[in-house]
Structure 1
Amino acid sequence: MRDDLPIEVTHEVRDRCLCLHLQRAARSIARRFDEALRPLGLTHGQYSLLMALNRPGAPRLGELAKFLAMDRTTLTANLKPLERRGLLKMQPDSSDKRSRRVDLSDAGRDLLVRAVPVWRRTHDDIDVLLGRNDTQLLKADLLSLSFGEG
C-alpha cells in the first residue's frame, strides 16, 4: 500500500461513487431481465429496443439512438440481429435517402405481446425487492442523469 493512495480512498470511492453504484445496479437488473426474457430469445436490451419501435411511425435511426441514449454505430450493431430474425425492418427514409427508418415487424409485435407479461412480472419482483411500488423519484433521478431532465 502506498502512502499517497491509502485504503481510505478506496473506501471513499466504494461508498460515494454514483457511477460504481449505478453500474452495479444496472448489471444486477439487466441480469434479472435477461434471465426472465431468455426463454423468448431476447435480452433486456433487445426488448427495450423493440419496445422503442412500438409507435405509430417508424423513427429515423438518429431519433431512436437519441431516445435510447446510444450512439448510432452501437444502435446499428444491435439492430442487425433483430433484423435478421425478422423482428424489425430497416428502410431508407422516403424524404431523405441518406437516412434510414426502423419499423417493428408483425413478428416483432407478436414477440413483444408475449414478452410484456414477463417484463411486468420482473418489474413487480424488483418493486418487492425495493420494498415499494412507487419508484417515481428514482426514475426522475435517472432521467435527470441520462438526459438532463427530471
Structure 2
Amino acid sequence: MTDDDDLLRLENQLCFAMVTAARNVLAVYRPILEPLGLTHPQYLVMLALWERSPRSLGDIADALALEPASASPLVKRLEKEGLIERVRSEQDERRLDISLTDAGRALRTQALDVPRQVMQRVGLDLEAVTALREALGPFNRSLRG
C-alpha cells in the first residue's frame, strides 16, 4: 500500500520524470544540431519535410503534435534560412504548400548522422532507443485523443 505522502514525493511524479527526460534529450541534441544551424523544433519540421514535401502547415503541425500557430514561426524561420519555401497550392489557392529548397534537401545528407550521434551520447543502441520510443507510443497516443 502506498502512503499518501509517497504519492506527493517529487521522485514519484510522472510529470517530473517526463520533463527531466525531455530537458536531457534536448541538451543532447543541441550540440549535434548546432553545426547544422537548426534548433530541435526546426529539426523536427525538417524531418517531416524530408519524409514528404510539399506539405501544408496543418499537416506539418499534425505530424509534430503541434498547433499550427506554434508551427508557423518555425516554418517562417526555416524559410528565412533558405531551407524551405512557401508556395500557393495549385489545388487550393487558400493553402500554402511548404517545400524543401535545394539547400533544405542538401541538409538532409548532413543530418543523416544525427541519430547515430544521439545514440552514442546517450549510450543506447538502436534496439534500446526503439524500445524506449515504442514504450512511449501508447502513452502519447492516449493523451493526443
- Give the TM-score taking structure 2 as reference length: 0.82
**Relative to structure 1, is the Cα distance of residues 32 and 40 closer, same or farther in structure 2, using a 3 angstrom cutoff?**
same
| Superposition pairs of residues 59-74 of structure 1, within 5 angstroms | 59-74=55-70
SS in 1 for 2:55: coil
Match of 2:10 among 7, 14, 20: 14
Unaligned runs of 5+ in 2: none
Residue number among 128, 132, 139 corresponding to 1:138 in the alignment? 132
Q: What is the alpha-carbon root mean square deviation over aligned residues?
A: 2.3
- State the alpha-carbon separation in 2 of the partners of residues 112 and 47 from structure 1: 10
Question: Structure 1 stretches of 5 or more lacking a match?
Answer: 1-7
Corresponding position: 1:55 with 2:57 = no
The reply on whether 1:117 has 2:118 as its aligned counterpart is no
Give aligned pairs, total. 139
Q: Look up the match of 1:84.
A: 80
Cα gap change, 1:24 to 1:99, in 2 (>3 Å): same
Instruction: Quote the Cα distance in structure 2 between the aligned partners of 1:118 and 1:62.
Output: 26
- Extract structure 1 runs of 4+ deviating beyond 6 A: none
Give the structure-1-normalised TM-score. Answer: 0.80
- 1:141 CA drift (Å): 2.8
Structure 1 contact 69–146 (Cα < 8 Å) conserved:
no
Aligned residues with identical type, % of pairs: 29
